[in-house]
Amino acid sequence: MNLDGVEVLATPNERAARILSDDALRFVARLHRELEPSRRDLLSRRQARWEALRDRELPDFLPETSDVRAGDWRVPPAPPDLADRRVEITGPVDRKMMINALNSGARCFMADFEDANAPTWQNCIDGQINLIDAAERTLTFETPDRTYRLGDRTATVLVRPRGWHLVEKHVTVDGDPVSASLFDAGLFVWHCAQTLLERGTGPYLYLPKLESHWEARLWNEAFVLVQEELGMPIGTIRATVLIETILAAFEMDEILFELGPHATALNAGRWDYIFSVIKKLGTRDGFVLPDRSQVTMTAPFMRAYTQLLVRTCHARGAHAIGGMAAFIPSRRDREVNAIALAKVTEDKERESSDGFDGTWVAHPDLVPIAMGVFDEALGPAPNQLERMPDAGSVLASELLDTRIPGGVVTEAGLRANVEVAIRYLDSWLGGVGAAAINNLMEDAATAEIARSQVWQWLHHEVRLQGEGTVTRGLVGQILSEESAAALDAPNKGNVELAASLLADTLFDENFVEFLTIPAYEHLP
């Protein structure tokens, strides 16, 4: 269909028609026309900054925004249903998963169009329908054995749209694909905001992959435009920003400031953060990371990052939300459970003692564990906003201290990265963006860490523990072996394409910015 310069390239169907009314499409088109030039400019700035980091610069706090960091200002108080965020569960906008997450006992649920969602046209449209049904409390899911429906008390919904770097290829405005960020967020607010407000909640968002306060400013401009268009007071939309890039870590104050009345919280998106460190700085000596399993939250650069996040949030009256516990409890292996759940508990205890106001889990069975830890830390209080980390100011050098004592690169770690990247990409190409692999709920962020580490080790010709070097021949051999192993597994329909796409990124002389960009061309 074509409507006033807006063209929907996907095959029409009733489900899409429910979402893409003429008025909704005109609304998305207005967002695109007013904001697309700024989005493109910001993406160009990203590339220029990346080139500078490869050549000569290191990230630092911005001298031109020192007055913002030194200023005495605070974000608006959180809405009542975002005052207590002690446990949040995340997951894709899949109907059954949404019901289980909303009923999990977590305070909040992040409905994810981004890293945990394979953005097929059907997934994105169905996700919007599921959000409408959740807002109207009519969300159900039928199987031959069971009917899933919402309980009396459900988690508060926050929606994560896709990042500024992505487009929705199935919808064009004046011949150009629309920003996936504006498509996802705009349709959610268009369809759900009024219903949510009538229920005493609101249109709440998680903002991914920001690299600068300029990108936060663009989101603020989008929010103002949306609220004016829909007749909502400015500040109705509330946003939590994932600090999941090394550059955003140096601009936390500025990001909150630029969001103005819409700012609510920052989240430690730690897996994407590790990926970002490798992507932005990984070609340089001194930033080679060891096996993924050794890059933990106790690493100096990760400790500095989380301490700065809590300090920044609490100085500004914003919530600090901790990172993901991705373990999937096994109902058959008690030993695996015992070891993993002890690590989950330790991780959540560290976050609560550091001053975080809440944390993330990926599976409903982890909600009681995380809840118990934060209940003990918070007591009857909804959060610990008044608490500041004991450490003093965090220095730029500490955020860049990627040394990990005893860290090594092993052939087992190399093989594990290749396995995860192939198996996840196979799942993603099949339309499933949250994949259970080796008792972990993997999403695009962990696949990006896996493939970026292999690229970095190849680039630096890293020595393996014991003997040998990471070479193109060795990586090619492991890639072939892990592809063959994946082909022996069930649901193997996309393994060969996954291996081919992965090889293209691993053996490209230049680092491919996001694995999901070339892979998106293969999604329906």
DSSP state of 469: B
Ramachandran region, residue 317 (left: φ > 0; alpha: ψ -120 to 50; beta: rest): left
CB 233 within 8 A of CB 379: no
- Catalytic residue status for 160: yes
Confirm if 273 and 249 have CB atoms less than 8 A apart: yes
Whether 344 contacts 370, CB under 8 Å? yes
Taking the mean position of all CA atoms in its chain, how far away is CA 416? Answer: 22
Rounded Cα distance, 272 and 429, in Å: 20
Determine the residue type at 4. D
359 contacts 348 by C-beta, under 8 angstroms: yes
If DSSP codes are grouped into helix, strand and coil, which group holds residue 71?
coil
Beta strand residue intervals within 314-427, DSSP E: 319-325, 358-361
Q: Exactly one of 85, 160, 311, 423 is catalytic; which is it? A: 160
How far, in Å, CA of 475 to CA of 504, rounded? 12
Instruction: Name every residue whose Cβ is closer than 8 Å to that of residue 369 and which is 6 or more positions away in sequence.
Output: 341, 344, 345, 348, 361
Residue 444 CB contacts under 8 Å (≥ 6 apart), including other chains: 114, 115, 116, 424, 428, 433, 515, 516
Catalytic residue among 81, 272, 357, 443: 443
What residues are labeled active site?
A: 160, 443
